[in-house]
Amino acid sequence: MMRKTSVILLSAATGAALTLFVTQPRAVLMGSSARAATSDTYRQLNLFGDVFERVRSDYVEKPDDSKLVESAISGMLTGLDPHSSYMDAKSFRDMQVQTRGEFGGLGIEVTMEDGLIKVVSPIDDTPASKAGIMANDIITTLDDEAVQGLTLNQAVEKMRGPVNTKIRLKIVRKGQDNPIEVTLVRDNIRVRSVRARTEGDDIGYIRITTFNEQTTEGLKREIANLSTQIGDKLKGYIIDLRNNPGGLLEEAVTVSDAFLERGEIVSTRGRNAEETQRRSAHPGDLTKGKPLIVLINGGSASASEIVAVALQDHKRATLVGTRSFGKGSVQTIIPLGSGNGALRLTTARYFTPSGKSIQAKGIVPDIEVLQDVPDELKARTDTKGEASLRGHLKSEGDEKTGSQSYVPPDAKDDKALKMAGDLLHGIKVNATAPTTADKTSTDKPANKAAN
């Protein structure tokens, strides 16, 4: 029985973020050569059955049959390319939570430090913030269970749970002699994938960390807030996509659409011509044509590359930073039924509005800016890129590997951010930046290519 399958573009940088849309199944007519191939395939499956039975009967310890099958499936998929894989039921659930961008929880951003769970910050208007939890608090117990010895993911999983359920936390706070005990009621928490601030008094800075179901709405809200705060002095926007590993395709398309009036945003092409899909912009630029600078680096992958190159191809934004990761393939998530997890299978490549593939090449920024990296970090600040992954899909022409992905923690040391500000203030000029007339003329070929 054929069914619809969800198609994703997997983030190469983390293996966690996705780009999702729907594709239709296709009918297959089987000829004589296909029947011969099928016959060969069944002989190979008989070989697999023989090996499976031998392992079950002769391995030194009695194996778990389900684990054997899962391992076999995983081996088959990971042997295809770096982005095809098998997700067990838990991994599949975790992926769905991540792409929704909301979950039942407490509203705390945490990190692991010296084996302890440390609060980075509470999220505004959540159970954590309302209970007075503060940055740098150390969480020592969750429902009377010691946190020390748990991994960060295990601790996070314990803090999440159904909405309206309770959890007790014991917290150690600097300056207080005794631990603080607090009972929180879990609520629906939305992940903030978009954060914004003003740069100086005339530039809007928007940081997009991932593309989940909340991203476009978050972008709209922040653009409206910045426009109100800055008013008529607004010079333009800086969109920071650095180290953004990717996300939902639909969100990448709608984020791109927020800045474009027309033209193709992205196309995907599978093995067969009828599988080609094109996504185009609709009239309406949320920024009303204000100049855009997009920051990218070696950690900008997948859905973030779709946004960056769409704005670059349409001459809507100037790209500043270093070459992006180069993830240009699409994966399909195929659920395997209740409790059986899902397949993540590479099914297509995606192409830019100008018809190019960035697979294993990345996006070259309009202006390259290298950061000053501290000596102790120099060995760890380059991302090798898609082209360095074993078994990656090959590209046409020369492949490119390696690009700087370091972002200074202090904005005053951020050379790419400074360059973006200088461009918007007219202190620096990009010779390739389009004039208003250029924008009109360069949109025409893109429209033609989309037809």
CA distance 85 to 447: 36
Residues 358, 326: contact at Cβ < 8 Å? Answer: yes
- Cα dist from 156 to 120, 127, 142, 160, 190, whole Å: 13, 15, 10, 6, 15
* Tokens matching residue 420: 């973006």
Residue 222: closest CA among 238, 198, 200, 206:
206
Residues 127, 186: contact at Cβ < 8 Å? Answer: yes
Which of these is catalytic: 11, 85, 267, 302? 302
Task: Say whether 313 is catalytic.
Answer: yes
CA distance 389 to 10: 14
Task: Say whether 327 is catalytic.
Answer: yes
CA distance 427 to 429: 7
Which of these is catalytic: 235, 327, 361, 400? 327
Residue 345: closest CA among 23, 85, 19, 71:
85
Q: Name residues whose C-beta falls within 8 Å of residue 115's C-beta, 6 or more positions apart in sequence.
A: 148, 149
Which of these is catalytic: 81, 137, 240, 313? 313
Residues annotated catalytic, as ranges: 302, 313, 327
